[in-house]
Amino acid sequence: MSNIVAIVGRPNVGKSTFFNRLIQRREAIVDAVSGVTRDRHYGKSEWNGKEFSIIDTGGYVLGSDDVFEAEIDKQVELAIDEADAIIFMVDVETGVTGMDEDVAELLRKVNKPVFLVINKVDNAKRNEDAVEFYALGLGEYYTIASINGSGTGELLDALVKALPEKENVEEAELPRFAVVGRPNAGKSSFINALIGEDRYIVTDIAGTTRDAIDTRYNRFGFEFNLVDTAGIRRKSKVKEDLEFYSVMRSVRAIEHCDVCLIVMDATRGFDGQVQNIFWLAERNRKGIVILVNKWDLVEKDHKSTNEFEKMIREQLEPFTDVPIVFISSLTKQRIFKAIETAVEVYNNRVKKIKTSKLNEILLPIIENYPPPAYKAKYVKIKYIMQLPTAQPQFAFFCNLPQYVKDPYKRFLENKIREHFDFNGVPISIYMRKK
């Protein structure tokens, strides 16, 4: 599990601008997910080869009568408790304020690395003005301008050095299957039905599960960790401070799993929130199985299954090579089929295709259907190989990689899927200079 860094401070000091710069800085970024009550974001970044998760908290305002401000204050305190390191951001334009002193008082009690960061320092005069922040009693500070990135390199160098090394837990070596979905879709009921006992609390109240919980599970001669997570819902629907971190842990469960079993409620349909969860898993290049739960509650005829599946696939275009299993956690209908399918998807994700086989099958297809000419220049693909990565990635070596556009890359992906079983697994295509 990666380290967590929380960005805290009073309102309007530029925390979100700095957060956005961090998550866009490197190609290794997986995703940024907009937050959970107001102005809350969390994402993933990397610096000097070290990955960490980031929480952008709301502005801390002590003693406010605003109900939302009180909730934000609770979440800031939870973020500080959850984090391995804290970035305390202030604004050189306004100088030290009473709210800054409130946050500083809170942070002086914390036994964690705290980085005092003075934002909007973009000239020599403001650099001199920054000295007054010594009065906060937090020692040395870093001056940055988050709008243009000035000074962030020095800060991040110090930050990653201060982050503790996370121990490698032996259990993490087992494949991880995360059961995710919106609240009250039947995730915990599904796991209880699988293991034959009430391992998790199951109620009809949405949001009962507060954390991601692992269960070691063995089925079909295959051992893995089954992870139950809190439901993911839209930020406008999340009001409780605890639920903010339930959602964050669910997102992190997706980031750190091998296969996502996305449980959806058949009576609610494949709505926008389920689609958001699907695309979050896809962007993280995870194996995906869609489980249509509560299928026993749907009025249906002999066409219902095919029509429902067609509707889902239309929403998933262009990535439609995903298994869809219709289940009922209540009656245990097809629950073991769901696990069997997840194991197949995992095996697809770790599958390696021999280079000779790839070239033997794909080069003749490419010769018959070459990339379209661009500016009277012809692309010639000479060689193909699968990269040695955790998920399927393929490199196509050619003379003019810059002229191969996305439609042709999708064509190549479709041909790979036609000849090799990568059902449920996102594929990455890269064009490289030969």
The binding site comprises: 9-16, 56-60, 119-122, 181-188, 228-232, 293-296
Q: What is the DSSP string of 230-295?
A: PPP--GGG---HHHHHHHHHHHHHHHT-SEEEEEEETTT-S-HHHHHHHHHHHHTT-EEEEEEE-G
Query: Distance of alpha carbon 395 from its chain centroid, rounded?
Result: 25
Q: How far apart are the C-alpha atoms of 273 and 270, rounded to whole Å? A: 8
* Number of other CB atoms surrounding residue 173 within 10 Å: 9
Residue positions forming the annotated binding site for GTP: 9-16, 56-60, 119-122, 181-188, 228-232, 293-296
Indicate the residue type of 238: V
Q: Is the distance from CB of 3 to CB of 46 less than 8 angstroms? A: no
Q: Is 427 helix (H, G, I), strand (E, B) or coil?
A: coil
Residue 32 vs residues 16, 146, 218, 258, 288: alpha-carbon distances, Å: 12, 17, 34, 19, 20
Would residue 218 be called left, alpha or beta, if left means φ above 0 and alpha means ψ between -120 and 50 degrees? beta
Tokens of 271: 């709505």
CA distances from 193 to 128, 291, 338 (A): 64, 14, 12
Give the count of beta carbons closer than 10 Å to the beta carbon of residue 196. 8
19, containing H or E segment: helix 15-24
* CA distance linking residue 409 with residue 405, whole number of Å: 7
DSSP secondary structure, 39-78, as one string: S-EEEEEEETTEEEEEEEPPPP-TT-S-HHHHHHHHHHHH
Q: Which candidate, 18, 13, 66, 65, places its Cα nearest to that of 38? A: 66
DSSP lists the bridge partners of residue 292 as 264, 326
> Contact, 47 vs 85, CB < 8 A?
no
Report residue 354 as tokens.
């021999």
